[in-house]
Chain A
C-alpha cells in the first residue's frame, strides 16, 4: 500500500540550515506537500510542489523533488527557534480519486538557540 517515510527527529542550531527528507511511493501524485504543526495546534500548509517541477523556492524554504528516486526534501535556510515544529510530508495516493492525502509520520525539528 501507499506509504510516506520520514525520519522522526532532527536537531539543528539556530542560524544553520535544516533539511527534512521524505520518500513517497506514488509516482502519479500530482502534488506533494509539506505541512507544519506547531505545539498544540493543527496542521498548516507550508508549501507544495507540482509533480512536473524539480524545485520550488519561497523565501527561506526550498523544496526539491527527485521523481526518479521518489524523494522530496524541505530545506529551511537560517533556521530560527520559531521553526521548531513537526513537519509532515504528504502525497495524493493513487486510486483515491484525489480526495485524500497520505501523510508521513512527521519529523520533529528542534532548534537549539
Chain B
C-alpha cells in the first residue's frame, strides 16, 4: 500500500517554464490538498479538492492551477514559474472522519 505518492521528487526550472506536479493516492480518499513549505513559514495551503471534478482555493493560490479529473489523482500546475515558487511542495489526502491527513514525501522545486 503506497499511500500518497508524489512525482517528481526534485525539479529545477528556469523562470517562465511550466510544469505539473502529480499526486496519487490509493486510499480512496475524497479530499486532497496541495501545500507549500518554506523556512519560517510552516505549511501553507495552495489548493484543495473535496472530490473528483472539484477544486477550491487555499491560502496562497496565485500562480498555481489544479485539476482533479480522477479521484486518485490531484495535479498541481505552474504555468509560468517564478523564483518565489521555489519551495517544497506536499500533497495530502484525508480520511472522511477525524480529518486526519496523510502526506506524500514532497517535491523539492527550485526556480532559477
Contact = CB atoms under 8 A, between A and B. Distances in A.
Interface residues of B, number: 23
A105 B90 contact: no
Contacts of A43: 43, 90, 92, 101, 103
B42 A92 contact: no
B100 interface: yes
Interface in B48-82: 48, 50, 56, 58
Secondary structure of the A side of the interface? loop
Interface of A: 8, 30-31, 33, 40-45, 48, 88, 92, 98-101, 103-106
7 contacts: A8-B40, A42-B4, A48-B98, A99-B50, A100-B58, A104-B42, A105-B40
